[in-house]
Structure 1
């Protein structure tokens, strides 16, 4: 009987390392839902860093993940590299893009989890603005950690899709 308990405990520990986890740190629920007929302009955030390492293209990958989430709700979605922050609101054609999205990479850590046992980590903030009124209508910060048990091929960008899609869904529904 003790052997069964030990095997069961080992299986639980083993399986708990097989899934990614997410935490929503902050969430500002929008007062009004977004209009699916209004376009969305997404800025490309600065690349993520950890210690002395810059993760090239992490900003582009983050913007692409956000574009993918918004594309499920509206047909007019674009990414810009021309501007990076709230100042973009002054140059947006609000008749074309009703919303401006500013993603910020707060933490990006790509580890060789399969060798080191150290998990990949991200922390992303997404701020959504109404481009006509120039007011903030949505704001979330979420973090994610990769599964502990991996056989290679997992990266921080793999942690973007699920929480980003869930957040964007709340903006429309």
Structure 2
């Protein structure tokens, strides 16, 4: 009997370490849903840092995750590397792009979880603007933490897809 209880407890602990966790903080939900017929321009954020380590290509990976999420809801989605941040609103072609999206990496931490027991972590902010009015119409931040049982295959970019897709879907539906 005790052996079964120990095995059950071990299985629960094992399974709880097998999934990543996310926390989503909605700062500003759009008053109206986004129009699927309007294009989206996404800026590439600066790379993420942790301590003295810059995570090369983390900005590009973040922009790609945001593009992937928007691509499921509209046909015209472009990533720009020419301009950064809100300054893009000054040069955006409002006939092509109805929305401008600014992802920001607030935290990016890649750990050797499989041997250190320390989880990978991210914190991403996504600000959405109406390109014609240049007003902020959506602003969210989410955090992600990898499972502690990774078998060496997880990285912070693996934490981007699920919360990004959920948030973008909520903008349209």
Fold agreement, TM-score > 0.5: yes
Deviation at residue 5 of structure 1 after TM alignment: 1.5
- Counterpart CA distance in 1 for 2:172 and 2:125 is 18
1:54 maps to what in 2? Answer: 54
Larger mean Cα displacement after TM superposition, 65-74 or 84-93: 84-93
The 5 A counterparts of 1:1-173 are 1-173=1-173
TM-score by length of 2: 0.98
Listed as ranges, the gaps of 5+ residues in structure 2 are none
Question: How many residues are paired up?
Answer: 173
Deviation, 1:26, is: 3.1
Larger mean Cα displacement after TM superposition, 18-27 or 119-128: 18-27
Task: For 1:76 and 1:26, locate their aligned partners in 2 and report how far apart those are by CA, in whole Å.
Answer: 25
Q: For 1:48 and 1:132, how far apart are their aligned partners in 2?
A: 30
Q: Distance in 1 between matches of 2:157 and 2:27?
A: 21
The two structures have a TM-score, normalised by structure 1, of: 0.98
The offset of 1:82, in angstroms, is: 1.3
Alignment partners' CA distance in 2, 1:103 and 1:121: 16
The root-mean-square deviation of aligned C-alpha atoms, in Å, is 0.8
Please identify runs of 4+ aligned residues in structure 1 that moved more than 3 A.
none
Cα deviation for residue 54 of structure 1 reads 0.2
SS for the counterpart of 2:122 is strand
Q: Structure 1: 5+ residue runs without aligned partners?
A: none
In structure 2, distance between residues paired with 1:5 and 1:28: 46
83-92 or 102-111, which deviates more: 83-92
